Amino acid sequence: MSIFMSAILATVIVVLLLWLISVTLLKGQNLSAFDRPGEEGAQLSFPRPGGPSEGHRTAVVTTREFNASLRGQPRKKRLQMIRDHMDSLGRDIVVSGHVSAADAGGVPAEWVCAEGSRPDRRILYIHGGAYIAGSPLSHRNITHRFSEITGASVLSIDYRLMPENRRKDGILDCRKAYRWILQNGPDGPGATSYLVIAGDSAGGNLTLSLSAWVRDEKMRLPDAVVALSPSVDGTFSSPSIRRNVKTDIMLGPLFSILLKVPAWQRRWLYLLESRFRPNNPVVSPIFGDLSGLSPTLIQVSEAEMLLDDARRYVNKARASGTHAVAQSWADMLHVWHFFYPDVEEAEEAWREIRSFLQTLPR
């Protein structure tokens, strides 16, 4: 056999081996059983017969303009542009109470306390940003609103981001912050009387992962968990990942190229980037045990790629005995809550979050 033919044969064997490992060890269980509508009360939709509000249409234009500014930029500059843009969203937010810096067990953070908030009522907030961007500043509008509707002090953590750090580092920061917030408030040491974990997008993923870790560690469970447009499946297997790529104005442009790569190769890319198997429950909470978790609310747009992630998670959680609810809005941007109070649908979503938290058993 010639050297050329031997090289081809060796290449084919390597590719087949990589494919076999991908479909057997990296793929995870088939979750299609959780695509059903779900039991009554599991999934609530909030349609707008007249279409999105004027405020939302303005937000869409702004988002499209920013996306256009990223095209053709070198990777490093594009990352900095995204980080700067996200921070600009919170720079002019006026907080009714006060904001103060904190060291949450070694994790940089800030307390956001709306007027009238109590130091013993606490929320641990984990920001989104695809694990590469975002900060307590970028999400101050969301954290301030959480404090307003709950009367709680919100600890927004500045966990370590990729690519400067490992994906695992951000996960460990969330765990450190949770241990710390149990016994520390904005006024100093003291036990919490009420605790919620919340997060959006990538932070929603970290939130749901943290919720399961707290249960496994047999620590004090949060009174509730709230995830806004969370990512729950690193294998990207839900139907809406492809179906909504063109209607997801925020995530679609970022993922459209990735979706052209065969699924088995995407799983290897995920492993190489994050150093976690894409079906590992630590980074893909839906593949884990969802029993015995705190009451969980997930809100998502029906136009975004992560729609079916939310539905699958809630259906599996309820089948496991956990109280979970998915609420969806038509035609919204990914994490439209950012645009409160200018977007009417954001106010609707915040009302539903308040209602969910207020109706839980005390």
SS3 track for the chain:
CCHHHHHHHHHHHHHHHHHHHHHHHHCCCCCHHHHCCCCCCCEEEECCCCCCCHHHHHHHHHHHHHHHHHCCCCHHHHHHHHHHHHHHCCCCCCCCCEEEEEECCCCEEEEEECCCCEEEEEEEEECCCCCCCCCCCCCHHHHHHHHHHHCEEEEEECCCCCCCCCHHHHHHHHHHHHHHHCCEECCEECCCCEEEEEEECHHHHHHHHHHHHHHHCCCCCCCEEEEECCCCCCCCCCCHHHHCCCCCCCCHHHHCCHHHCCHHHHHHHHHHHHCCCCCCCCCCHHHCCCCCCCCEEEEEECCCCCHHHHHHHHHHHHHCCCCEEEEEECCCCCCHHHHCCCCHHHHHHHHHHHHHHHCCCC
Question: Regarding beta strands 152-157 and 43-46, do their DSSP bridges make them parallel or antiparallel, or are they unpaired?
Answer: unpaired
Residues 167 and 274: their CA atoms lie apart, in Å, by 5
d(CA 110, CA 100): 5
Q: Report the pLDDT value the prediction gives residue 270, as an integer from 0 to 100.
A: 81
For residues 285-296, average pLDDT: 98
Q: Are 140 and 95 in contact (CB under 8 A)?
A: yes
pLDDT at 328: 97
Backbone phi, then psi, for 238, in 5-degree steps?
-75, 150
Q: Which residue has the tokens 């995920």?
A: 270
Buried b (16+ CB within 10 A) or exposed e, 12-47: eeeeeeeeeebeeebbbeebeebeeebeeebbeeee
Residues paired with 325 in a beta bridge: 297
| 362: pLDDT strictly greater than 60 | no
Calpha distance 195→178 (Å, rounded): 10
The pLDDT of 173-200, averaged and rounded, is 97
What are the structure tokens assigned to 102, written together? 């904190």
From the list 20, 30, 22, the residue with the least C-alpha distance to 238 is 30
Residue 154's DSSP bridge partners are 112, 123
CA proximity to 299, closest of 142, 92, 137: 142
- Give percent of the chain with pLDDT exceeding 70: 93
How much is the average pLDDT of 329-349?
96
Q: How far is CA 38 from CA 161, 314, 316, in A?
A: 35, 8, 9
Per this entry, what is the length of the chain? 362
Q: State the pLDDT at residue 184.
A: 98
Residue 176: pLDDT over 70 = yes
pLDDT band (50, 70, 90) for residue 12: low
Predicted confidence at residue 165, as pLDDT, reads 97
Alpha-carbon distance of 190 to 148, in angstroms, equals: 21
Q: How far apart are CA 275 and CA 131, in angstroms?
A: 14
pLDDT of 197 higher than 70: yes
Domain 48-358: CATH class, spelled out: alpha beta
Handedness of CA 299, 301, 304, 305 (dihedral sign): positive
pLDDT confidence of residue 19: 60
Exposed, middle or buried by CB within 10 Å (0-12, 13-18, 19+), for 177? buried
pLDDT band (50, 70, 90) for residue 303: very high
Confidence of residue 8 (pLDDT cuts 50, 70, 90): low
Average pLDDT, the chain: 92
Phi and psi of 11, rounded to 5°?
-65, -45
For the cut 60, the answer to whether the pLDDT of residue 338 exceeds it is yes
> What is the pTM for the complete model shown?
0.94
Residue whose C-alpha is closest to residue 216's, from 183, 178, 160, 165: 178
Mean pLDDT for 40-67 is 92
